[in-house]
Structure 1
């Protein structure tokens, strides 16, 4: 049985839930990708973004942080012609945030060390009887959001950051009855 939010009966959505969502993620490129995609989801369904993930990977050089940090306005124009969400400010935010992530890497050694420090490098396992009762923010997502905003990150709010934390396994909010918990 899967979490109740996997309603689409879409193979992409089911595979994402079964194989990725809530599993601790520590690889730098994957963290940057997931963070970037979560910022794209603001105001949209996650499935909309997930279905465009391959196009985002192509557009953003496989989410190589150093490469994306060097992108220019010409790259934004190029990306907007691709099969991504056509929102220039969101695309520009990925480039902007990439530059800020380079600062975090210099300071913390890795994105992994930065993000996971907010949960003491240990996933939080919540008792979620039904996804409708799961939190959408937490004091930790609030604190992480404040830190990111202080550093100048764009398209970050506590709901977006909590969704990122769930997705990368910092928080495990699989329903208690879910086979993938």
Structure 2
């Protein structure tokens, strides 16, 4: 084989490899239908029986969060916090709708994940494994495994606060 033929064969092989890798990449994009961001769990004190998990979930197609599991709790439920007649109410819900492309926030004042009958204390900085089960409109289920970092109950994210330092002495 002469040099021009070898170069042509090499270029053709590179193109085939690039095409193959791009197809693999598309396959991963199709299977990654739901994204979970900013997952955290509230740290506990010794003997505390429950905690909460919080995150933002974004599905690529209309879906719903069906359940969450973790080895740190014997019972896990999806709850919703609401106000009715000036009374705060928390109740279990069977699922949470995840509209296509719209982030759904799970936070202490709305939907959240209750971790009950804890198997031990959750310390600040611990990484808590969570497995979310999401079902799309076609009935296909997706299992998403994440690690949520444990934060102290008094932890505040000051980076998102507005500060006016001009009045300080």
Q: TM-score, normalised by structure 2?
A: 0.24
* Larger fraction in helix: 1
Q: Considering only CA atoms, is the larger Rg found in Structure 1 or Structure 2?
A: 2
Point out which structure has higher relative CO (alpha carbons under 8 A, 6+ apart): 1
* Larger fraction in strand: 2
